Structure 1
């Protein structure tokens, strides 16, 4: 579905959708300025505030024979990234309102690629692998139409890249399972993030980095291997710290960070289902209200205004937008009869917001 004027669109949400309308990645755009902020626990998507309205855009496929596409992230300026999947591989792409979908070259020897993050300079990072589910994965960066492998830390042979900031510093992980560790790629080298929290918790994987060097991700607790640790590290500081946990939970995962310092993710009890949260330096960890008819969820991304997207779960997966006060089902914010099913299937999810 198209809008009459691209200039009307002021922010974008990247939505990974293997939905009923053709299994293609989508992006939605919202015209105008919309409501924001604050919090409490479970509520329905009812409010005296008017619901923001979004247009929906089909990212499409890179090649006519491709099976489906996924959108995995969006830059602050609105460049969406993801992958287009075909029978013998997958190809990373960028998408903008002005240019549409543009394919990125695959790394030699790796038939599968996915773009996970982009900055507004057009630098894109992701993963190149030998199979759809990241076999023998390598972290990669695309700049000016060319792809290159990011340098892994010494002694490491596999890894990934999950996020990149405006200066081109990227974060991800190296190795797998019990040996997996968070990594920062900067200055032509890859380095394990060795700083820990005061209690010794360490990064398993780094999932986000903002333009000021705040890194977030998932950590491990050496004193409780079952517990998730929502890790935060401000580059240049002597120690990392954790976001804490919501009432009734004992840990968290930190999936996203904004340039204003907000952190979002899921707070969990060990490896069980989680509840979405937003964390700030001023307010600490605060629960994001669940969408109606759901019992758990995770916040995946946040912008500098504190608007959050993620996915709640009940019988089906429910992609949501949290504006700081109200949690909205994305399915309720797009034009009716648009042909997209975001609320009665199990594979829709909202992964990025600019």
Structure 2
């Protein structure tokens, strides 16, 4: 009740207070390194609490890895006869998922899971499908990905008990071909096809509990979308375009629909790849170079501008840099060029920065509470 009262008082004061300016978050950064004598590494995913990062380290083959601040980068085993693997996602329990292939180019991919003890398991696929990949895992161990029969791709769910195709469709028959993420509530996001226009990308959200499939629509002036990530709080992010044209990043929620994310300077297209429970979004914008960005509290920041100048980290003048995932602690992971080397990284929020609205609510509420207290003391002494 005290919290509710403070919020109500803060809302009253907000109408009288001038708008606060957004404060850029402050970050530190760590180079995650490589496995052995690897030539480069890339981070593709992180646990929602930010404690574990997964990706791949490459030299003459691709080695999936997991990384923690305590243990550093650890190689994850390959399937027998397959020397190319990438870990794409991991949950807070340390269970990672990804794909194992026979070549660097992803030939004959198989969906795999790495257990907490580091052992690798090939995930069973539905009958009639011979290849696939795993892209997301939630707290209960449900895995989202895709499978292929050689002629068609379909979104699928995997678990320790087997796998199943996602067969639900929207009202107009659109179906999901690849599932890129799944949250703890069982919501699945991905890309789909519209049977009336197969050239159209459809951004879809599937509720695995109710079995209902819905489309997120598209940004104004566009007619297609791809959903790449979602949070446990229900935010969905991706890219919206006109057919196969240049995409624009967006964040979607059931309450507010699809909202366009402003691009960083000197870029003309982009896509959002990860979002946390607070609605902070990371992604990659393009122009001459790849420019990873953070969208926080309505403001877009180039990651380069969140680091000290002259530090050796290049997020703005190469085509390799990326921002793939953001944790609820604000940590960001992806790939960057560091002193000439292409390596996986983790950026860590140096200090908690309240949203501008939160500052106004807090200060306004405390101010009104202080005024009420003074009047109460004056009344008692009269």
TM-score range, shorter chain: 0.7 to 0.9
Corresponding residue for 2:81? 109
Q: 1:90 to 1:268 in 2, by over 3 A?
A: same
Q: Which has the higher helix share?
A: 2
Corresponding residue for 1:135? 107
Corresponding residue for 2:272? 299
Deviations 1:56-115 (A, max 9, x none): 11010111x21110000111121110000011x111111111211111111111111100
Corresponding residue for 1:336? 309
Aligned equivalents of 1:279, 1:155: Cα separation in 2: 35
Deviation of 1:187 (Å): 4.3
Moved segments of 4+, more than 3 Å: none
Residues 290-329 of structure 1 mapped to structure 2, 5 A cutoff: 290-329=263-302
Corresponding residue for 2:66? 94
Aligned equivalents of 1:280, 1:177: Cα separation in 2: 34
For the 8 Å contact 1:300–1:351, the answer to whether it is kept is yes
Aligned equivalents of 2:278, 2:88: Cα separation in 1: 22
Deviation of 1:324 (Å): 2.6
What is the TM-score with the length of structure 1 in the denominator? 0.84
Deviations 1:14-35 (A, max 9, x none): xxxxxxxxxxxxxxxxxxxxxx
Corresponding residue for 2:157? 184
Deviation of 1:48 (Å): 3.5
Deviation of 1:177 (Å): 7.1
Aligned equivalents of 1:274, 1:127: Cα separation in 2: 26
For structure 2, the 5+ residue unaligned runs are 1-19, 328-382
Corresponding residue for 1:120? 92
Structure 1 residue corresponding to 2:48, chosen from 76, 87, 111? 76
Aligned equivalents of 1:148, 1:142: Cα separation in 2: 6
SS at match of 1:66: coil
Corresponding residue for 2:354? none
For structure 1, the 5+ residue unaligned runs are 1-46
Corresponding residue for 1:13? none
Q: 1:178 to 1:254 in 2, by over 3 A?
A: farther
Structure 2 residue corresponding to 1:271, chosen from 244, 258, 262? 244
Deviation of 1:335 (Å): 2.4
SS at match of 1:331: helix
For the 8 Å contact 1:296–1:314, the answer to whether it is kept is yes
Asked if residue 148 in structure 1 is aligned to residue 117 in structure 2, the reply is: no
What is the TM-score with the length of structure 2 in the denominator? 0.78
For the 8 Å contact 1:55–1:335, the answer to whether it is kept is no
Aligned equivalents of 2:163, 2:22: Cα separation in 1: 46
Deviation of 1:170 (Å): 0.4
Aligned equivalents of 1:176, 1:74: Cα separation in 2: 30
Aligned equivalents of 1:283, 1:253: Cα separation in 2: 18
Structure 2 residue corresponding to 1:220, chosen from 177, 186, 193? 193
Deviations 1:224-283 (A, max 9, x none): 111110010111224200100001100100000100010000001111110000000100
